[in-house]
A and B are shown apart, each in its own frame.
Chain A
Amino acid sequence: MPENKTYIQSFCKIQNNEIILDGASIFKLEPTTFSDFSKKVYQNFGINYSKFFKMDNLSKLAFLGTELLLKNKLDSEEENNIALVFANKSSSLDTDVKYQNSISDPENYFPSPAVFVYTLPNICLGEISIRHQLKSENSFFIFDAFNPVFMINYAKVLLDSKKADKVLCGWVEYYDEEYKAFLYLAAKEGNLEHKTETLLTEYNK
């Protein structure tokens, strides 16, 4: 039986005001807020997508990671069948708390529709799909911690069953200014084997 290996084609990590792409630091700021950091990343990489500023922080984090990871890797002529498999620990709690605060006082009850629409973690997958015109499989899972075994197996099933040509896997955690994104593109071809040790090493670096 032939070996059915999968590979990591590219990976991106965003943490502590720094972006690391394929192991190399490509952007770094002195300590600042996520709002400031994300805006400067947007400006620095010449991203032109005004809806970015309407997103909640979790979506901004997932959006920026994806933007940098998929840059120059998408076929603009054909439909890109890239599945999205994301996960985190805090779900959309950061936005849930903001929304709750807007409705907690009966005397000052003004729920914001623009905040409410982000009170689900998988909304970030919708934002990515709209941006890159993906009509692919997508799922968002909640785990206590980054779960490489699950990611590897899930991506492998999608690739083996030909549900997707590539799988964008992502850990995107955001709560109260604490954040970490680790995203990577898995496929049937590549140089870096898609295995637990590799993912844990890059995730923890």
Chain B
Amino acid sequence: MEALKQELKEKIIDILNLEDVNQEDINDNDPLFGDGLGLDSIDALELIVMLDKDYGIKLVDPKEGKAIFKSIETMAAYIKENRTK
């Protein structure tokens, strides 16, 4: 689980071009949207593509994303449960 969390931090920084953010800056329970990392709606769509591409998870209902993408902790837990690759 720890390795997955680190992997997610690395991917998020890379895919979302968070140039001025380091892995150490992201705590597992920090909110990814709003006051936390300040991600926006396009970032949310990009995360949905990442789940599909890298973990074989297709989100049928984008509304699910709100709970899944709450933090690194919630993302990692969801991926661990649902990944197909």
Write the residues of chain A forming the contact surface with B, with a CB cutoff of 8 angstroms.
Answer: 39, 50, 52-54, 110-114, 117
Known: A53-B19, A54-B17. Contact between A112 and B46, CB under 8 A? yes
A114 with B52: CB separation less than 8 A: no
When distances are taken between beta carbons in the complex, the residues of chain A under 8 Å from B17 are: 53-54, 114
Q: Looking at chain B, what size class is its interface with the partner chain?
A: 10 to 19
When distances are taken between beta carbons in the complex, the residues of chain B under 8 Å from A50 are: 18-20, 38
Write the residues of chain B forming the contact surface with A, with a CB cutoff of 8 angstroms.
Answer: 16-20, 38, 42-43, 45-46, 49, 52-53
Give CA–CA (A50, B17) in the complex, Å: 9
When distances are taken between beta carbons in the complex, the residues of chain A under 8 Å from B19 are: 39, 50, 52-53
Q: Is the interface of A mostly helix, strand, loop or mixed?
A: helix
Other-chain contact of A113, B38, B49, B53 (Cβ < 8 Å): B49
B49 with A111: CB separation less than 8 A: yes
Give CA–CA (A114, B38) in the complex, Å: 15
Which residue of A has the minimal Cβ distance to B47?
A: A113
Given contacts A110-B49, A110-B53, could you give 6 more A-B pairs where the C-beta distance is less than 8 Å?
Answer: A39-B19, A54-B42, A112-B49, A113-B49, A114-B17, A114-B42
When distances are taken between beta carbons in the complex, the residues of chain B under 8 Å from A54 are: 16-17, 42
